[in-house]
Structure formats: structure tokens, C-alpha cells
């Protein structure tokens, strides 16, 4: 599965992706928040489009590259300008606290996505202008191995940077949860943060090449318990402070998590019609699909980033 989740900004502002990356000013220096937000900003702006460009290309090209005999030639997508990402990474890498592995992953990401940007623009010009009609697809064939190598390098860099960011993300989320419980008890804010942590566990359990049914069931059950606990809050515990849209998104994610769990557990095949829809643009419409789970997760994170009304 493509890692197209959006990452949550460390300051809790607008953006999509992996849970509770919210501000813990008392426990973490503001420079760490700035540093992480720079890396997250690159991922949120550039990663999904980079994977989409690869999917677009291979929707009409075989693994050995274009032949010139294709019935339909779509070309590929370009990605957004990478200059801001490079500048943000360069600045972020100078900030404390230093982490050589994380900073190296960020630099590798910026370099890989910059190289991919240039190649995609070259390919897009070639296919948009239909120059393959003039050179018998010669340049298309030459570009193919370069594009594949650039996408592979980008995917590796994206995975490494996400992993580094999410390791810190996870630690900060648990620290924040403990801090909230100590100061406020298990009231509205505690349950919102706990829900986001458990939602990410469900996504990770189901978003894997070799899903473990036992691990998935445990993650889904724990997430459901948090959802129920949140719904059972009293007004004194801040139930009214949690926005109805956030609660609705939380329950939609639970429903899809259960549907996908049952597909995996019971080995329920997709129908012919569902298989035709299982692609990046329409897969979210298939109940119990990884794409639907990802869509619902990103909507939940979006609701969280908007403040969940608390």
C-alpha cells in the first residue's frame, strides 16, 4: 500500500496525516516543533502527488517501459515546486536538537524529490506535446529507467523520513497524553488524544503487506473501547466540548476498520466491480478497502487538526 497518509503538524494547525503530533511546549523546545513541522510540510505537500505520478504512469506503461504501440498514452503527473521544501529542510537541519539520522533522512528526501520533479517535468513535456509521434517513442524509452530509479529513490527516502518523524510523533503523543491525564484527568482532551493514538495503531495494523489478524483485532477492539469511552463522557467531563464532526469521523473510521478486518480475517474477496474500482482515485468508494480506511483516517486527522472543538 502506498504511504499516502498526511502527517499532523507539531503545532496542531491545518494539514492531514498520522495522529497526535500536537504541541507539548512545556516538554519540548519550540525549535523541535519548528524542525518537525518543516519535515512534515514537505511530506504533506509532495509525497502523495509523487506516488500519484507513479500510479498514473504505470496505469498505461508496462514494467519494461513504453513501446509506442500503447492504445492510450496518458503520460504522467508533475509534482509541486520543491524549492520551498529544500529551503525548509536546510533551515530545519540547523535547529536544535540535532539528530544526524533524521536530518540525513530529510536531506535525502529533499534531494530525491527534487530530482523527481525535474524528470517528471521533462516527461510531462514530452508526452503532453506528443513528441513520441516524432521520435518513435525513443525518448520515452530512455526516460523510463530514469523515472523508475527516481521513484524508487524517492519512495525509500519518503519511508525513512516518515519513520523518523513518526518515531518522535509517537513519543510526543504518549508524553502529551500522560501530561493531560496528570493535569486534567481522563476528560475530553484526554479521550481525544487517546483516540488519535489508537486510530494510528489500527491503520498501521491493517496497512501492511502481511497483516496479522490477531494484532488487527486487538487494535480495532482497543480503538472501539476508546470511542465508546469518549461517547460516554458526562457534561462535567467535557462531552459537549468534543465536536460532533470529530465524533462522526471517529465512528466512520471504526466502521471501516472493522469492515477491512473482516475482509482480511474471513478472506472475503472483492467482487469484479469492486476490483475495477480499487485504484487511488476510486478505491475509497469500496467498503472495507485499504483506500477507504486511509480516506477515513485522513478525514479524522483533518478533524483533529481543526481542533476537535476542544
* 157 membership: H or E segment, kind and range: helix 138-184
Residue 248 makes CB contacts below 8 A (sequence gap 6+) with none
Per-residue pLDDT band at 215 (split at 50, 70, 90): very high
Average pLDDT, the chain: 88
Q: How many CB atoms lie within 10 A of CB 215?
A: 14
Q: Using a cut of 0.85, tell me whether the model's pTM lies above it.
A: no
On whether the CB atoms of residues 196 and 19 are closer than 8 A, the answer is yes
Q: How confident is the model at residue 65 (pLDDT cuts 50, 70, 90)?
A: very high
Q: Which one is predicted more confidently, 210 or 134?
A: 134
| For range 253-263, the mean pLDDT | 97
- Amino acid 207: pLDDT: 83
61: left (phi over 0), alpha (psi -120 to 50) or beta: beta
Q: Which three cell numbers stand for residue 221?
A: 477492539
pLDDT above 60 (res 138) = yes
Q: What is the pLDDT of residue 277?
A: 85
**Would you state the pLDDT for residue 209?**
81
The predicted structure's pLDDT at residue 308: 64
Q: Which of 90-94, 172-176, 254-258 has the lowest mean pLDDT?
A: 172-176
Instruction: Give the number of other CB atoms < 10 A from CB of residue 182.
Output: 9
DSSP state of 29: -
13-25 residue pLDDT tens: 223 333 333 332 3
pLDDT band at 310; cut points 50, 70, 90: low
Predicted pLDDT at 6: 52
- Could you give the percent of the chain with pLDDT greater than 90? 73
Report d(CA 201, CA 50) in Å as an integer.
25
Asked whether the predicted pLDDT for residue 306 surpasses 60, the reply is yes
3-class DSSP assignment, residue 261: helix
Domain parsing of the chain, residue ranges: 1-165, 185-310
Amino acid at each position: 500500500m502506498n504511504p499516502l497518509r498526511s502527517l499532523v503538524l507539531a503545532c496542531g494547525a491545518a494539514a492531514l496525516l498520522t495522529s497526535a503530533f500536537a504541541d507539548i511546549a512545556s516538554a519540548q523546545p519550540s525549535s523541535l516543533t519548528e524542525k518537525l513541522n518543516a519535515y512534515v510540510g514537505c511530506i504533506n505537500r509532495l509525497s502523495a502527488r509523487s506516488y500519484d505520478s507513479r500510479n498514473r504512469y504505470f496505469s498505461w506503461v508496462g514494467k519494461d517501459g513504453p513501446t509506442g504501440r500503447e492504445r492510450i498514452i496518458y503520460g504522467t503527473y508533475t509534482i509541486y515546486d520543491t524549492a520551498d521544501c529544500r529551503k525548509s529542510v536546510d533551515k530545519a537541519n540547523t535547529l536544535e536538537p540535532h539528530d544526524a539520522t533524521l536530518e540525513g533522512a530529510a536531506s535525502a528526501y529533499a534531494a530525491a524529490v527534487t530530482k523527481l520533479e525535474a524528470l517528471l517535468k521533462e516527461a510531462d513535456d514530452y508526452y503532453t506535446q506528443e513528441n513520441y509521434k516524432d521520435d518513435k517513442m525513443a525518448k520515452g524509452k530512455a526516460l523510463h529507467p530514469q523515472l523508475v530509479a527516481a521513484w524508487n529513490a524517492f519512495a525509500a527516502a519518503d519511508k525513512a523520513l516518515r519513520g523518523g518523524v513518526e518515531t518522535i510523533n509517537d513519543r510526543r503523543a504518549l508524553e502529551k497524553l500522560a501530561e493531560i491525564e496528570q493535569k486534567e484527568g481522563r476528560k475530553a482532551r484526554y479521550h481525544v488524544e487517546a483516540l488519535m493514538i489508537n486510530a494510528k495503531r489500527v491503520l498501521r495494523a491493517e496497512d501492511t503487506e502481511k497483516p496479522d489478524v490477531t494484532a488487527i483485532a486487538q487494535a480495532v477492539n482497543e480503538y472501539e473501547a476508546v470511542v465508546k469511552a469518549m461517547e460516554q463522557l458526562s457534561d462535567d467531563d467535557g462531552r459537549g466540548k468534543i465536536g460532533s464532526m470529530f465524533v462522526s469521523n471517529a465512528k466512520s473510521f471504526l466502521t471501516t476498520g472493522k469492515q477491512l478486518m473482516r475482509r482480511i480475517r474471513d478472506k472475503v474477496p472483492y467482487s469484479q466491480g469492486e476490483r475495477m474500482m480499487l485504484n487511488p482515485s476510486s478505491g475509497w468508494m469500496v467498503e472495507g478497502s485499504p483506500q477507504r480506511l486511509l480516506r477515513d483516517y485522513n478525514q479524522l486527522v483533518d478533524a483533529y487538526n481543526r481542533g476537535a472543538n476542544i
